Amino acid sequence: MPRASAGTGPTKPLQTAGSLETILDNCIFCKIASGAIPAKKVYEDDDLIAFHDINPAAPMHLLLVPRAHIATLADCDDSHQALLGKMLLLAPKLAQEQGGGYQNNADGPAGGFKTLFNTGPDGGQEVYHLHLHVMGGARPWRGQR
């Protein structure tokens, strides 16, 4: 059975198509992806949107969000492989563009960023729509997780 959630709280099984509409109507990331709520976007295409986190834990803190509503990483299956790969390959490109890139110079490595999927309540997930955090910039960060 597919799983989804209204944006916060534990994931609950969907019972009817009507309940899916309610979930999608109440999901903040679905609203951002549709343009109903503004965001400081840095990237968008048919599959993904990326924007600055409104409560950043690092000097550069982006969220990469699929346009399709997927509640958690645990809800992904083989059909999501290309989407997840796209998210992970896009992360270093956006980090570089936004000032948090990694370089391996003659003097050694410099810069860098952190990627993070929070999954479920014990994993620290607050919005139940799959999203990848990309954080970087000079340390210390507020969110040294």
Which positions are annotated as active-site residues? 131
Distance, in Å, from the CA atom of 91 to the CA atom of 135, rounded to the nearest integer, reads 10
Residue 44: which residues within 8 A CB-CB, separation 6 or more?
Answer: 50
Distance (Å) of CA 143 to CA 78, 111, 133, 135, 136: 32, 17, 11, 9, 11
Distance of CA 92 to the CA centre of its chain: 14
